[in-house]
């Protein structure tokens, strides 16, 4: 028995490769007998039906290769999947390209009753009521010319093989791939035997002789454009290649930007170090190169910024000690020292009001030695580093 033709039935695609770049879905048809027909008050036919069920089913492609596909209960009974059955159109036979709005007038003969879609415990499937409302379809159904139904749906193939776990329908059976993300498109009325499953519906004409459609009708949509057959695989390959090329270009741009930023930062650091060494030379002499002998490695190594500043301050004040002092303290002392050195011939106190104030405070009578703001009270180096440095330089000047 040949299956109904589906929009997406045909060659197999590597869905794992496509997932990130395109939407690839495949169509399948389920089949079940149309029995227990009754009339509505408007004259339409109403028939209860089990439209699909879970399990492992075998399909043969045109080359004769058999695929075992598992349809798990959790996929069959997913609320969003079952919801797509609500009010889907009923047709006579399967529309080759699936149902679309422009086909309703010509192909729709009824619909699936929305409020009747439900989980069917007896078959581990999905049950509903099918409404047939067009006169010619009603006549053919009453004459039993159309007495089976087949659900047309789209789904995604998960190519991961395995064995059905315990607690599921067909537990212990091996499968080659899994049907996922099932979305229904229509339900077709078929002649007697078209479904041949009675009240036990199946996946894609579920039977040992079921075949995957032998005509190349696979279709995918990429960026709003549909591709079919061999062109579909070529479009998928091209989309993947384009995406990879885009990723490579973005990576190259990012690497170039990072390299440019790193060079800018390196240039800035080099310029800042050269400026610091130039300042240090005014105190330590032109021979100073910003290096020191390292006893551990018996070699000459570059001095750190702090080491350079401490060397300058030690040259100006042999009693200066930086041990335990924060970097902020050393920075301020160094800035003040360089500033004072640059103002040759002028009093350092005149050049820095804070030092002048510290000297005045130090020379003032000690009328209240316990006051916190007295001139001889040493400022906190962590909270007032500039005042702390000025205090000590003023004391040095006074000596």
Q: How many residues does the chain have?
A: 399
Predicted local confidence at residue 132, as pLDDT? 92
Cα–Cα dist 64/74, whole Å: 30
At residue 240, the pLDDT reads 83
Q: What is the pTM of this model?
A: 0.45
Same-domain status, 221 and 333: no
Q: Which of 228, 255, 273 is the last residue of a domain?
A: 228
Residues 228, 229, 231, 232, Cα dihedral to 10°: 60
What is the per-residue pLDDT for 24? 39
Query: 157 and 117 in contact (C-beta within 8 Å)?
Result: no
- The answer to whether residue 256 is domain-embedded is no
Q: How far apart, in whole angstroms, are the C-alpha atoms of residue 214 and residue 206?
A: 16
pLDDT at position 362 = 53
- Total count of domains within the chain: 2
Same domain, residue pair 214 and 348: no
Which token pair is 359? 């000297």
Q: How many Å apart are CA 152 and CA 147, to the nearest integer? A: 16
Q: Which two tokens stand for residue 112?
A: 């699936």
As a whole number of Å, the CA-based R_g of the chain is: 43
Residue 267 belongs to some domain of the structure: no
311 domain residue, yes or no = no
Residue entry with tokens 């229904």: 184
Instruction: Assess whether 202 and 346 both reside in one domain.
Output: no
Per-residue DSSP letters for 81-126?
HHHTTTTPEEEES--TT---GGGHHHHEEEEE-GGG-EEETTTTEE
With respect to residue 236, please indicate whether it lies within any of the assigned structural domains.
no
**Of the candidates 190, 208, 228, which is a domain's last residue?**
228
Domain end point (choices 213, 228, 243): 228
| CB-based contact 108:90 (threshold 8 Å) | yes
Q: Rounded to an integer, what distance in angstroms lies between the CA atom of residue 175 and that of residue 56?
A: 7
Model pLDDT, residue 355: 56
**Domain presence at residue 371:** yes
Note whether 332 and 219 are same-domain residues: no
Do 103 and 214 fall into the same domain? yes
Q: Does 219 share its domain with 330?
A: no
Both tokens assigned to 270: 């080099």
Let me know if residue 194 belongs to a domain.
Answer: yes
Range of the domain at 96: 15-228
Local mean pLDDT, 10-residue blocks, the chain (399 residues) = 35 34 45 66 86 81 80 94 94 84 92 91 86 91 80 87 94 94 89 50 32 46 67 77 90 93 92 90 88 86 92 90 90 86 56 57 50 59 76 65
Residues 335, 220 share a domain: no
Q: Is residue 270 assigned to a domain?
A: no
**Could you tell me if residue 191 is inside a domain?**
yes
């Amino acid at each position: 028995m040949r299956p109904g033709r589906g929009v997406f039935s045909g060659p197999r695609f590597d869905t794992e490769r496509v997932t990130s770049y395109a939407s690839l879905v495949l169509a399948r048809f389920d089949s079940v007998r149309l029995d227990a027909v009754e009339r509505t008050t408007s004259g339409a036919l109403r028939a209860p039906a089990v439209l699909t069920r879970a399990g492992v089913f075998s399909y043969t492609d045109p080359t004769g290769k058999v695929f075992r596909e598992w349809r798990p209960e959790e996929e069959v009974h997913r609320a969003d999947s079952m919801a797509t059955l609500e009010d889907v159109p009923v047709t006579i036979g399967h529309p080759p390209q699936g149902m679309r709005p422009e086909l309703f007038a010509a192909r729709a003969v009824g619909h699936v009753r929305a409020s009747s879609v439900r989980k069917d415990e007896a078959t581990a499937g999905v049950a509903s009521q099918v409404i047939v409302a067009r006169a010619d379809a009603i006549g053919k159904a009453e004459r039993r010319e159309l007495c089976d139904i087949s659900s047309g749906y789209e789904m995604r193939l998960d190519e991961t093989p395995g064995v059905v776990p315990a607690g599921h329908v067909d537990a212990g059976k091996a499968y080659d791939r899994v049907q996922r993300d099932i979305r229904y498109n229509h339900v077709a009325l078929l002649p007697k035997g078209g479904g041949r499953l009675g009240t036990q519906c199946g996946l894609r004409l579920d039977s040992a002789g079921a075949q995957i459609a032998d005509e190349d009708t696979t279709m995918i949509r990429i960026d709003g454009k549909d591709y079919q057959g061999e062109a579909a695989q070529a479009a998928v390959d091209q989309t993947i290649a384009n995406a990879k090329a885009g990723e490579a270009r973005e990576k190259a741009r990012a690497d170039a930007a990072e390299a440019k930023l790193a060079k800018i930062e390196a240039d800035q650091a080099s310029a800042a170090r050269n400026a610091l060494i130039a300042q240090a030379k005014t105190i330590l002499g032109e021979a100073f190169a910003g290096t020191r002998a390292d006893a551990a490695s018996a070699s000459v190594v570059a001095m750190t910024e702090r080491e350079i500043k401490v060397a300058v301050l030690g040259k100006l004040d042999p009693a200066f000690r930086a041990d335990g002092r924060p970097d902020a303290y050393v920075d301020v002392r160094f800035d003040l020292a360089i500033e004072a050195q640059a103002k040759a011939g002028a009093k350092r106190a005149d050049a820095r009001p804070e030092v002048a104030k510290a000297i005045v405070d130090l020379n003032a009578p000690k009328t209240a030695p316990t006051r916190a703001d007295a001139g001889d009270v040493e400022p906190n180096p962590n909270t007032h580093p500039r005042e702390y440095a000025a205090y000590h330089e003023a004391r040095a000047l006074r000596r």
